[in-house]
Amino acid sequence: MIEISTAEDKEYVCISVGGEVDASSSIQLDATIQNAVSDGFKKIMIDCSGLNYISSAGLGVFMSYIQELEIKEINMVIFGLQDKVFHVFQILGLDQLLKIVDDEKSAKGLLNVI
Amino acid sequence: MLSNKSIVRLSIAFGIIFWTLLLLTNLSILFDQKNNASLGIPQFLPHAFLILFILSVGVYYRYSIGKAESINFIDLLWRVFVTGLLTTIVSLSIKFFFYVFGGSMLTKNILLINFFYLVNLGLILAFLISTFIVWKRLILYQKSKKLLRTWQFFEYFLFLSLAFEFSGYKLFDVPFNTVILLLVGIGLILSVNLKWVAYLNFKQKWKSILFLLLVIIYLWYFFMSLVGYSNESVLITDLLNNVFVLAVFAFIFIYSVFSVLVILFNLPTSSVFESKLEEVINFQRLSQTIPTGQKEEQVFEILLDSAVSAVFADAAWLEVTDAKAGKQELLVRNLNPDLIDKIKEAAQNSTLKRILNSELERNPTSQKLTATLKKVPFKSILVYPIIVKNEQIGTLALLKEVDDSFNKEMIDIINTYVNQASISIENFRLLNEALENERYKEELKIASRVQKSLLPQTLDKNHDYNITAFSMAADEVGGDYYDTFRINDNKVALIIADVSGKGTSAAFHMSQMKGIFHSLAQLDLEPKEFMVQANSALSRCLEKTSFITASYFIIDTKSKIVRFTRAGHCPTLYLDGRTRETSFFKNKGLGLGILRNSSFEDYVQVNEFYYKPEDVFVLYTDGITEATNQNQEEFGYDRLRTSLLKHANLSPDKIKDGIIDDLYDFCGKRSLDDDYTMLIVKFTGHENVKSVESVKTKK
């Protein structure tokens, strides 16, 4: 099961993803990120501290935004990944393309928000 | 056993023989009496032949009418009528004969009179017995056990009464009358069984009355002529002195009178019974439309016709909405379709409207209602929604020219019809869905077969190494791929790839990967160039959220070097055959299709190593490492490593089996959630092994 919640601030939006992201639940994740992008946020934080498992379909969602975010100059930072989950990002090579940091503080620092 | 037919034929033959014998004995006795001669004919012989004759006729009719297949009451009565008519004609012609030759000596001849009497007797007995058998069938229609027993008792009693012939008692003797009264009593009790009358329609009832009245007239006439003979002449065999014959006469007469009266009183209600019967038949038609017909429209047609005839509607329409096809169909009876909108409006505005939905199904979108209409040619309407699986698929509307003319019974029967039609349609749809699903299953089977054929049957190997593979898809089709390609005598390309996601979409991308591998591998490209080209090709055909991870190897048996790249794929597990050390090749890499532009090449790293005998490397997809047990623990890299070490001394096939067994033991289930694939490459003994350089990186 996936658990997704969104917290909006003036400058940024924080999407919390928990549980498991598989082929079917990845659609929900995709819709949430799509909303944040179309709402015009330039700064997106993704809190993955509750994320236990992500399948290749879930990774596909993050991957599919890489180029769109670049073009729209949107800053997206992922933080709080468990080691096991981070490893999955790492093997695929996504850690080279996505901004992944340890905690919320570093994420905020990177996004330049308080 | 004799067949029915031969019994019938035999009984005819015996009937004729016994009648002739009866005639001969009668005449000889008369001759004796007249001439005071003595031919020595015993007095009991005519009685015996009469009984035998009656029995023969009884057997004949029992087998020709009693066992006939069809029970058509009118046909049965028709037979009785015809037999009676024949008998009457013969009897009348005899009368005519006597009339014509009234004055001559001929008519005074006692022998001749007796001869004619016996002809009459034979025919009357035939009529009586045939009618008796027909009455039996009518009485025993829808019989109960008790009725059957009473009837059998009656028959046996009648049969025994034949023996009374020998007693010498005559009509009006006390024992004779007692027996007759007893028999008539039982006949009366049996005569109240008139269930068959209910199944006649109006026309048949009139016909039956006619035939039955004729039967009564015949009976009266026959009886009178018997009495006439009995009074006027000396008779050896007088039927009026036969208990059996009189009892049958009485029984047939009583039952005929009862039948006529009951049919007469049933005439006014026969239309109700007919319409009930029609309702049942229509109901049957509705429920049987699916096996016989093929279309939903037929169900609607039958529903509309049945409904119209059940409530005697003056007009009706049936609207069917096919949401899927987005079209609406309209069936009408005796109605101009242009009027429908007007009628609908009138029904909406009606002040005398009654909603029929039960409390449980308050659903304002599909109302069942009756209403009184104004300003349209019809005064009352009954509207019924047709609901299949909680979805309204149509509306049935019945119209009458008289106001307030749909009573509760009519509404009930319409309710039943509509429900049955709904069930029929639902069944029909379910059947179609089942067929469709069956077709999809077949298609998937084909897809699965085709996809299995996309994976290589044999892998390229040579004296330097051995290779084996194992692959299993979670669904019918999967996204895992592996293959080898011989570039030249020394070089073989080896690939393992895993498409993101699983199922059909993954399977399509997998086949694209195969195409790309076979086109690029033959170009003898450098591993890096291979990945760049593959990424470029896939970028143009993969779905937005899809990517493929792959590891590509070129095994060069001449230089003993393996060169490889990893595009986001699970790191290859490598075992050094000499030191027994294991490592995962975690060189840099990025999945294919993630970066869909030229910057991809910055993320490709090529490694190479020298191989030596007993070295093993294991290629696998994440289905293996991510397989979980009941505690949601993953099989993981360490267990894979341990498992390899455990089996490393064996042949590649055995290593594969060993690792798969370990995996299954860990998971405790034989069906996994993901596609999983594993390749084992084991290098074989070879002289002149160069020392292994540690992994050399080349940018």
B335 in Cβ contact with B325 (< 8 Å): no
Using a CB cutoff of 8 Å and minimum separation of 24, what contacts does B64-72 make?
Answer: B64/B8, B65/B130, B65/B133, B65/B134, B65/B137, B66/B133, B66/B136, B66/B137, B67/B4, B71/B137, B71/B141
In terms of Cα–Cα distance, which of B225, B233, B214, B273 is closest to B80? B214
In terms of Cα–Cα distance, which of B19, B44, B18 is closest to B29? B44
A96 in Cβ contact with A64 (< 8 Å): no
Assess whether pLDDT exceeds 90 at residue B530.
Answer: yes
Q: What is the CB neighbour count within 10 angstroms for residue B137?
A: 16
In which region does residue B172 sit, left (phi positive, over 0), alpha (psi from -120 to 50) or beta (all else)?
left
d(CA B327, CA B331): 13
Q: What is the CB neighbour count within 10 angstroms for residue B361?
A: 10
In terms of Cα–Cα distance, which of B339, B233, B679 is closest to B494? B679
Is the CB of residue A66 less than 8 Å away from at least one CB of chain B? yes
Distance of residue B317 Cα from the nearest chain A Cα, in angstroms: 46
**B595/A66 Cβ within 8 A:** yes
Is the CB of residue B569 less than 8 Å away from at least one CB of chain A? yes
Which whole number is the average pLDDT over B175-190? 89
Is the CB of residue A93 less than 8 Å away from at least one CB of chain B? yes
Which of the two residues, B17 and B353, has the higher pLDDT score? B17
pLDDT-derived band of residue B439, with 50, 70 and 90 as boundaries?
A: very high
The one-letter amino acid code at B344 reads K
The one-letter amino acid code at B183 reads L
Its CATH class, for the domain covering A2-107, is: alpha beta
Which whole number is the average pLDDT over B178-202? 88
Q: What is the CB neighbour count within 10 angstroms for residue A41?
A: 19
Which whole number is the average pLDDT over B196-209? 86
Taking CA atoms, B221 is separated from A15, B124, B207, B217, in Å, by: 109, 10, 21, 6
Q: Which of A27, A30, A33, A56 to mutate to test the interface with B (most CBs of B within 10 A)?
A: A56
Assess whether pLDDT exceeds 90 at residue B481.
Answer: yes
pLDDT in tens, B98-155: 888 876 766 677 888 888 888 988 999 999 999 999 999 888 888 889 999 999 999 9
CB contact set of B23 (below 8 Å; sequence gap of 6+): B115, B118
B212 in Cβ contact with B134 (< 8 Å): no
Q: What pLDDT is recorded for position B364?
A: 53
The residue ranges of every structural domain in chain A are: 2-107
Assess whether pLDDT exceeds 70 at residue A114.
Answer: no
The one-letter amino acid code at A100 reads I
pLDDT in tens, A57-103: 899 999 889 888 989 999 999 999 999 899 999 999 999 889 999 98
Q: What pLDDT is recorded for position B695?
A: 41
Q: Percent of chain B beyond pLDDT 90?
A: 33
Cα–chain center distance at B247 = 52
**B603/A96 Cβ within 8 A:** yes
Spatial strand order in the sheet of B353-355:
B327-333, B315-322, B391-400, B380-388, B369-372, B353-355
pLDDT in tens, A5-59: 888 888 889 999 999 888 888 889 999 999 999 988 889 999 999 999 898 889 9
In terms of Cα–Cα distance, which of B565, B549, B554, B548 is closest to B605? B565
d(CA B299, CA B426): 11
Taking CA atoms, B191 is separated from B153, B270, B336, B649, in Å, by: 14, 21, 54, 100
Q: Is B509 helix (H, G, I), strand (E, B) or coil?
A: helix
pLDDT in tens, B386-434: 888 888 888 899 999 888 888 888 888 888 888 888 888 888 888 888 9
Distance of residue A91 Cα from the nearest chain B Cα, in angstroms: 5
